[in-house]
Amino acid sequence: MNAVTAEVLDSNQQSLRNLKIYMSAQVLDLHGLWIHRVALGWVTWVETESEFWVGMIAFAQFFPVIFLGPLFGVLADRLDRRYCAIVLNLSLTAVATVMAAASFAGLLDIWVILALSLLQGIAAGAYSPIRMSLVANLLAMEHLARGIAINSLAFNASRFLGPMFAGLIIVTWNVSWAFVINAASYFFMLLALVAVRPLTRRKADGERREVLDELLEGLRYVLDNDLIRSMLYLAITVSVFGRGVIELLPAFADGVFGRGATGLAWLTSASGAGAIVAGLWLARRGRRPLHIIAPLSALLSGLVVIAFALNRSFEVGLLLAACLGFFFSTFGISVQSLLQTRVDDAFRGRVSSFWGVFGVGGSALGAFLLGAMAPQVGLGVVSIVSGVLCIVLCYPVSTAVLRRIR
């Protein structure tokens, strides 16, 4: 009995140690990520003054998750997750370091930006499902909820603070230093991954099939479940026709409002502030209201996108950007919560990877499409059309979900 008690205490101590180390590094990593994203969008706009290229660079960063997310969602249960995370963080650190060096050397033209963004997107796309599944190996069950809560708070806080830091860095120093900070944040995460020690959790050795067969099985599971199918449909629709506008904030900040890098930081931070409010508000909601919040947020996001596109006042734009952050976050958190409570554990990894494809990949696709069309018809017009499509395409499924819960 004493030996068992000692083993449990050691496990809890190791879990708490992992929690402190990993989550501290995660906070730095997320802030570095947002600093990098704002700086990259800004340097792309300065280099080209093209909505197309702003959208293309966003697309290059995020579209690899479409192809790599489902693959690594299956492989995450077969490989040593910590080892994979270390290798992928080494890759991300190397790419960020090269980008910083190229920026200082004046070699960061649009083609170099595109190539490095694509490399970063490939590594990040592979890392995404590994990172989501690794947390369960690092923390004891009694600490897992706390870890997820800290991660959510860190993500939303970084959306608010990261762009502010990015604006200060760009205006006060140089955009190159933003890339240095991002490389440093990856390096600290790398040190954390080396320092943590996963808890031992044996899994049953079930029969393994081909990766494609398991992916198709997961897809059939999604198609056969009405609620999960509806939520993932709304997810890709909102991501493409709603969140795609967020990726074009550099063009709005300078091309529409004429506020430059400082305006971009304020707009992105306003969006992050709205996301924080959404997270705090949803923390007080029960499970049932999520069935109402998710479809309503999908429709309201389209309305706010239209209002943001029609607006020409920077101050009103800040308020609307906060509303965008609020509704996108209420939608995203609600859908993820519904998926986690409704999905069978055997399909959790694959369904989560589909969410990553639709949520992250859809946003990249939306940024690419909007950026490609904006030079032809205007940024405002294409954003209005995007908002209208978001409402029109979400309306039938949203109303069907709301009718089912009555």
What tokens were used for 342?
A: 């409704």
pLDDT (0 to 100) of residue 3: 46
Looking up residue 351, the CATH number of its domain turns out to be 1.20.1250.20
pLDDT at 4: 42
Span 162-175, mean pLDDT?
Answer: 82
Tens digit of each residue's pLDDT (9 = 90 or more) over 51-98: 788 888 888 887 777 777 777 777 766 677 788 889 989 999 999 999
In a domain, 201, yes or no: no
- What's the pLDDT at 2? 46
Q: Which residue has the tokens 């370091």?
A: 97
Range of the domain at 324: 8-196+211-404
Rounded to whole angstroms, how far apart are CA atoms 117 and 44?
11
Rounded to two decimals, the pTM is 0.71
Higher local confidence (pLDDT), 67 or 308: 308
pLDDT confidence of residue 204 = 45
The percentage of the chain sitting over the pLDDT mark of 70, rounded to a whole number, equals 84
- What does 300-347 look like in DSSP terms, one character per residue? HHHHHHHHHHH---HHHHHHHHHHHHHHHHHHHHHHHHHHHHHS-GGG
Of the listed ranges 7-21, 201-215, 281-295, the least confidently predicted one is 201-215
- Per-chain mean pLDDT for the chain: 81
Q: Do the domain assignments include residue 142?
A: yes
Dig out the tokens for 281 from the structure. 């508000």
Give the burial class of 331: count Cβ atoms within 10 A of its Cβ; 0-12 exposed, 13-18 middle, 19 or more buried.
buried
- What is the per-residue pLDDT for 318? 94
pLDDT at 216: 81
Domain count along the chain? 1
Structural contact between residues 15 and 139, judged by C-beta atoms closer than 8 angstroms:
yes
Is residue 208 very low, low, confident or very high in pLDDT (cuts 50, 70, 90)?
low
Give the least confident one: 15-19, 126-130, 257-261, 292-296: 126-130
Any domain includes 46 = yes
- Which pLDDT score is estimated for 70? 78
Domain assignment present for 349: yes
Residue 400 has pLDDT above 50, yes or no: yes
Residue 130 binned pLDDT confidence (cut-offs 50, 70, 90)? confident
Better pLDDT: 255 or 161? 255
Say what the pLDDT of residue 77 is: 64
SS3 235: helix
What's the pLDDT score for residue 302? Answer: 94
For 238, half-sphere exposure in the C-beta direction (CA atoms, 13 angstrom radius) is: 31
Question: What mean pLDDT is predicted for residues 145-155?
Answer: 63
1 falls within a domain = no
pLDDT level of residue 1 (50, 70, 90 thresholds): very low
Amino acid found at 341:
T
Helical H runs in 173-259? Answer: 175-195, 211-224, 226-241, 249-251
8 A C-beta contact, residue 227 and residue 401: yes
Q: pLDDT tens digits for 250-299?
A: 889 888 898 887 888 788 888 878 887 887 787 666 555 778 888 999 99
- What whole-number percentage of the chain has pLDDT above 90? 24
For the stretch 330-389, pLDDT in tens is 888 788 777 766 777 567 667 777 877 787 777 778 888 888 888 888 888 999 999 999
What is the C-alpha separation between 207 and 134, in angstroms, rounded? 22
Asked if the structure places residue 16 within a domain, the reply is yes
Full DSSP string of 237-305: HHHHHTGGGGGGHHHIIIIIS--HHHHHHHHHHHHHHHHHHHHHHHTTS-STTHHHHHHHHHHHHHHHH
Q: Which of the residue ranges 128-137, 301-310, 315-324 would you say has the lowest mean pLDDT?
A: 128-137
